[in-house]
Amino acid sequence: MQTPYRKKETYIRPKADPNITPEKFAALGVKLKRMKEIDRPRLSEETKRLAAMGDFSENAGYQLAKSRLRGLNQRILDSEDLLKRAEIIAPNPDKNSIGLGHSVTVEVNGRIKTYQILGSTETNPMSGVISYSSPLGAALLGHKVGDIVSVALSDRVARYKIIAID
């Protein structure tokens, strides 16, 4: 019988960005509760049922169920850690300069675009949500209406004129 072994985990996962909106915080809480109260007991029961079938070394179903349970436990730990370290993005009433949580309307190449600047865990560039650590988000932070911000892209420099801050 061959004893299974796990490879050493050489990849160290970076910590998730703690800046999240109140909506994302609430959604994470609901997801964590579902994983703990519904998913973990279901996977645990499946693992017990497959373990009762006998030899662990040749029981592929058991190995797969155990792997799924390990993955779920890791996601639970990651979610708990993120909720503990979370910094809620509070709406900033100061509309004079761009900050985290603001929506910014800019003009670039004759087109008007609106971006919301949030933490990196909530980004969705296709819907206009960008990270404060992205090149554009970092360049916009701290600027005021009327400023022109230059962002170096791979092949050119784009100029963004700030029209409005919401």
Residue 77 near residue 83, CB atoms below 8 Å: no
93's CB contacts (< 8 A; 6+ apart) are none
What's the CATH number for 103-165? Answer: 3.10.50.30
Q: Which pLDDT tens digit goes with each residue over 34-86?
A: 999 999 999 999 999 988 887 777 788 888 999 999 999 999 999 999 999 99
Q: Which pLDDT tens digit goes with each residue over 127-154?
A: 999 999 999 999 999 999 999 999 988 8
Q: What's this model's pTM, rounded to 2 decimal places?
A: 0.77
Q: Determine the topology of domain 19-88 in CATH.
A: Helix Hairpins (1.10.287)
- Whether 164 has a pLDDT exceeding 60, the answer reads yes
Tell me the C-alpha distance between 92 and 107, whole Å. Answer: 23
Residue 129 near residue 115, CB atoms below 8 Å: yes
Kindly list the domain boundaries of the chain, sorted by start residue: 19-88, 103-165
The DSSP code sequence of the chain is: -PPP------PPPPPPP-EE-HHHHHHHHHHHHHIIIIIHHHHHHHHHHHHTTS-STT-HHHHHHHHHHHHHHHHHHHHHHHHHH-EE-PPP---SS--TT-EEEEEETTEEEEEEEE-GGG-BGGGTEEETTSHHHHHHTT--TT-EEEEE-SSSEEEEEEEEE-
